[in-house]
Amino acid sequence: MSSLSYKSHISSQYNDELEDVRQRVLAMGGLVEQQIVDATRALMENDSLLGDEVSRNDFKVNQLEVLIDEECSGILARRQPTAGDLRLVYAIIKTITDLERIGDEAEKIARMAVDLASQEGGGTPLVEVGHLSRHVSQMLRDALDAFARMDADAALGVAREDMSVDREYESLMRQCITFMMEDPRTIRRVMDIIWSVRSLERIGDHSRNIAEYVIYFVKGKDVRHIGIEAMEREVKGGD
């Protein structure tokens, strides 16, 4: 079965419904990705106004989740999809849940940026935070690209990248703890950084989840909660 076989239904309206909901998911993903970029910039530049703007825009992500979920419910009720189509709708529903949660994490970073902007001091590892943010943003972009093409191999690459994000996260956490130990006056500031770093690590986890849903759609295999080697066997083992 072709990974994009949902486009070949006799009913052109059915095709249009599936394609429309898929495009809405990608639009939601683009909005969420911009939220991450803006929240991180607010953090790096002590820009409380931009942080507030990111927080206000979170409702747009929530609205898209509700809209897409309603569309999927309508498809399930009207079309009663089977096989690949049912897996597609399932993958979409799960994907938008993770995208909404990524939006929540970006909003948390924005709130930390607003708090940091109100404080004095510096010296915390913001450069490294910016690098981690770019890393997880690329992960999300790659996961969405895998979703757009329903490419299991590309999705597997995203899952592999999550391990690198985890290592970067652990290194940053060690730096933050060292800062607090060396100068207790930085504790409040560093705690804001720690919560931001934690949110970025969670964004990486959610991006991996999206990649796993792509593999589920393409291969019909649930690869959640298994190691990367087992996931590779499922992807490379054929249909």
The DSSP secondary structure of 17-56, one letter per residue, reads HHHHHHHHHHHHHHHHHHHHHHHHHHHHTT-HHHHHHHHH
Q: pLDDT per residue over 124-152, tens digit each? A: 668 889 999 999 999 999 999 999 999 99
Q: pLDDT per residue over 58-112, tens digit each? A: 999 999 999 999 999 999 998 888 888 899 999 999 999 999 999 999 999 999 9
Rounded to whole angstroms, the Cα distance separating 140 from 161 reads 11
Q: Is the pLDDT of residue 188 over 60?
A: yes
The alpha carbon dihedral of 154, 159, 164, 166 has a sign of positive
Q: pLDDT per residue over 201-225, tens digit each? A: 999 999 999 999 999 999 988 898 8
Helix (H, G, I), strand (E, B) or coil at 227: coil
Tokens at residue 130, please? 């910016």
Give the residue extent of every domain in the chain: 11-231
Return the number of other C-beta atoms located less than 10 Å from residue 44's C-beta.
15
DSSP codes of every residue in 146-186: HHHHT-HHHHHHHHHHHHHHHHHHHHHHHHHHHHHHH-GGG
What integer pLDDT is reported at residue 221 of this predicted model?
87
The alpha carbon dihedral of 90, 213, 206, 23 has a sign of negative
High-pLDDT (> 70) share of the chain, %: 92
Predicted TM-score (pTM) of the model is 0.91
CATH code matching the domain that covers 11-231, chosen among 3.40.50.300, 2.60.120.260, 1.20.58.220, 3.30.70.660 = 1.20.58.220
